Amino acid sequence: MPGISTFLVEITNVSRHGLWLLAGDEELFLPFEHFPWFRGASIERISAVERPTADHLHWPLLDIDLSIESIRNPTAFPLIARGAIKGVRTL
C-alpha cells in the first residue's frame, strides 16, 4: 500500500485564459492556448489534481497526465492532442 504523497499540488485560480497551479513552492500558469484539454472542464475536475512524483501531475477525472517541465517550457513539448476529452465541452 503506497504511503501519503509528500508532493503537494493545488489549483489556486482558474480564469478564461488558463489556470494557476501551486506545485510545492512554485506557482505555474497553464494557458489554455498551450493546454487546451482544460478549457471547458469544470472546476471540480480541474481541482482534482494529484502529484504522484516530483515532476508528474495527474488529473484522474480528466485522464490528463503532464510533466511539470512541460508546463515550465511548453514550447519544448510541441505535440498537442486534438479533439475533445470525453465528458468535457470544448468552446
Which domains does the chain show, CATH number per domain? 9-76 (3.30.2020)
Q: Does residue 65 sit in helix, strand or coil?
A: strand
CA distance 62 to 45: 6
Query: What global pTM score does this model have?
Result: 0.78
Higher pLDDT, 43 or 89: 43
The C-alpha cell at 20 is: 494557476
pLDDT (tens digit per residue) in 5-51: 568 999 999 999 999 999 999 999 999 998 999 999 999 999 999 99
Q: What does 4-58 look like in DSSP terms, one character per residue?
A: -----EEEEEE-SSEEEEEETTEEEEEETTT-GGGTT--HHHHH--EEEETTEEE
CA distance 43 to 24: 20
Cα dihedral 45, 20, 33, 50 sign: negative
Higher pLDDT, 42 or 89: 42
pLDDT (tens digit per residue) in 38-73: 999 999 999 999 999 999 999 999 999 999 999 999
